[in-house]
Amino acid sequence: MAISLSHFLLAKSLLLSLVQAATVTYDFDIGWVYANPDGQAIRPVIGINGQWPIPTISVTKGDRLIVNVQNSLGNESTSLHFHGLYMNGTNHMDGAIGVTQCGIAPGSSFTYNFTVDQPGTYWYHSHAKGQYPDGLRGPLIVHDPEDPHKDLYDEELVLTFSDWYHDLMNPLLAFFMSVANPSGAEPVPNSALVNETQNLTISITPGRTYLVRMINIGAFAAHYIWFEDHTMQIVEVDGSYTEPTDADMIYMTAAQRYSVLITAKNNTDANFAFVGAMDQDLFDVVPDGLNSNVTGWLVYDDSLEKHPPKDVNAFEPFDDFSLVPWDKEELYDKVDRTIRLDLKMDNLDDGANYAFFNDVTYVRPKVPTLYTVLSTGPNATNPTIYGSNTNQFLLEPNEVVEIILNNDDPGKHPFHLHGHTFQVISRSDDEAGFYDPSSSSSFPSTPMKRDTVLVRPNGNAVMRFRADNPGVWFFHCHIEWHVVSGLVATIIESPLSIQSQLANKIPSDHYDTCLILNSPTAGNAAGNTQDLLDLTGEFRSPGELPAGFTARGIVALVFSCVAAFLGLGVISWYGMMPVKAKTG
Partner 1 sequence: MPDVFAVPVFFICFRECLETSIIVSVLLAFLKQTLGPEHDAMTRKKLIRQIWFGVAVGVFVCICIAAGVIGTFYTAGQQVFESAEYIWEGVFAILASVIITLMGAALLRVNKMQDKWRVKITKAFEVRDSSLPVKGRFKRWTEKYAMFMLPFITVLREGIEAVLFISGVGVGLPAKSFPLAVICGLAAGTLVGYLIYKGGNQTSLQIFLIISTCFLYLVAAGLFSKGVWDFEQNAWVKLAGEGAAEAGSGPGSYDIRKSVWHVNCCSPSANGDGGWGVFNSLFGWQNSATYGSVISYNIYWLVVIVGFVLQGFKERTGHWPLQKSSAKEISSDTGSDHATTGKGKQGGVVSSNVREIQE
Interface contacts to partner 1, rule CB under 8 A:
179-185, 284-285, 346-347, 349-351, 353, 545-546, 548-550, 552-554, 556-557, 559-560, 563-564, 566-568, 570-579, 582-583
Report the C-alpha gap between 403 and 398 in whole angstroms.
15
Q: Which amino acid is at 481?
A: W
Q: State which residue, 19 or 285, has the beta carbon closest to partner 1.
A: 285
The conformation of residue 322, written as its DSSP 8-state character, comes to: G
**Phi and psi at residue 425, in whole multiples of 5°?**
-95, -15
Residue 284 CB, nearest approach to partner 1 (Å): 7
Q: State which residue, 244 or 351, has the beta carbon closest to partner 1.
A: 351
Q: State which residue, 289 or 378, has the beta carbon closest to partner 1.
A: 289
Q: State which residue, 44 or 542, has the beta carbon closest to partner 1.
A: 542
Q: State which residue, 503 or 556, has the beta carbon closest to partner 1.
A: 556
Q: State which residue, 1 or 547, has the beta carbon closest to partner 1.
A: 547
Residue 33 CB, nearest approach to partner 1 (Å): 33
Q: State which residue, 507 or 553, has the beta carbon closest to partner 1.
A: 553
Residue 460 CB, nearest approach to partner 1 (Å): 24
Residue 346 CB, nearest approach to partner 1 (Å): 7
Q: Do 98 and 104 meet the contact criterion of CB atoms below 8 Å apart?
A: no
- Give, in order, the Cα–Cα distances in Å from 8 to each of 1, 11, 326, 447: 11, 5, 18, 22
Report the C-alpha gap between 461 and 412 in whole angstroms.
12
Q: State which residue, 177 or 489, has the beta carbon closest to partner 1.
A: 177
- Give, in order, the Cα–Cα distances in Å from 81 to each of 77, 212, 362, 405, 434: 14, 23, 19, 24, 32
Report the C-alpha gap between 18 and 572 in whole angstroms.
97
Quick check: helix, strand or coil at residue 335? Answer: coil
Residue 571 CB, nearest approach to partner 1 (Å): 6
* Sheet strand arrangement including 223-227: 200-203, 293-299, 272-278, 223-227, 249-252
Residue 347 CB, nearest approach to partner 1 (Å): 4
Residue 186 CB, nearest approach to partner 1 (Å): 12
The conformation of residue 373, written as its DSSP 8-state character, comes to: H
Report the C-alpha gap between 365 and 280 in whole angstroms.
34
Positive or negative: CA dihedral 177, 179, 183, 186: negative
Residue 369 CB, nearest approach to partner 1 (Å): 30
Which residues are bridge partners to 143 per DSSP?
A: 60
Q: State which residue, 518 or 574, has the beta carbon closest to partner 1.
A: 574
Alpha-carbon 150 to chain mean position: 29
Quick check: helix, strand or coil at residue 436? Answer: coil
Q: State which residue, 304 or 564, has the beta carbon closest to partner 1.
A: 564
The conformation of residue 78, written as its DSSP 8-state character, comes to: B
**Phi and psi at residue 237, in whole multiples of 5°?**
-130, 135
Q: State which residue, 351 or 383, has the beta carbon closest to partner 1.
A: 351
Residue 557 CB, nearest approach to partner 1 (Å): 7
Alpha-carbon 115 to chain mean position: 22
Q: State which residue, 302 or 544, has the beta carbon closest to partner 1.
A: 544
Q: State which residue, 304 or 566, has the beta carbon closest to partner 1.
A: 566
Report the C-alpha gap between 406 and 457 in whole angstroms.
10
- Give, in order, the Cα–Cα distances in Å from 502 to each of 54, 97, 369, 462, 496: 31, 18, 14, 31, 10
**Phi and psi at residue 480, in whole multiples of 5°?**
-60, -30
Positive or negative: CA dihedral 524, 420, 59, 31: negative
- Residue 88 has a CB neighbour count (10 Å cut-off) of 16
Residue 164 CB, nearest approach to partner 1 (Å): 22
Quick check: helix, strand or coil at residue 94? Answer: coil
Residue 560 CB, nearest approach to partner 1 (Å): 5
Cα dihedral 169, 174, 178, 184, rounded to 10, equals 0
Residue 288 CB, nearest approach to partner 1 (Å): 14
Residue 281 CB, nearest approach to partner 1 (Å): 16
Q: Is 522 exposed, middle or buried (0-12, 13-18, 19+ CB in 10 A)?
A: middle
Report the C-alpha gap between 343 and 359 in whole angstroms.
8
- Give, in order, the Cα–Cα distances in Å from 177 to each of 284, 321, 353: 15, 34, 7
Q: State which residue, 378 or 548, has the beta carbon closest to partner 1.
A: 548
Residue 563 CB, nearest approach to partner 1 (Å): 4
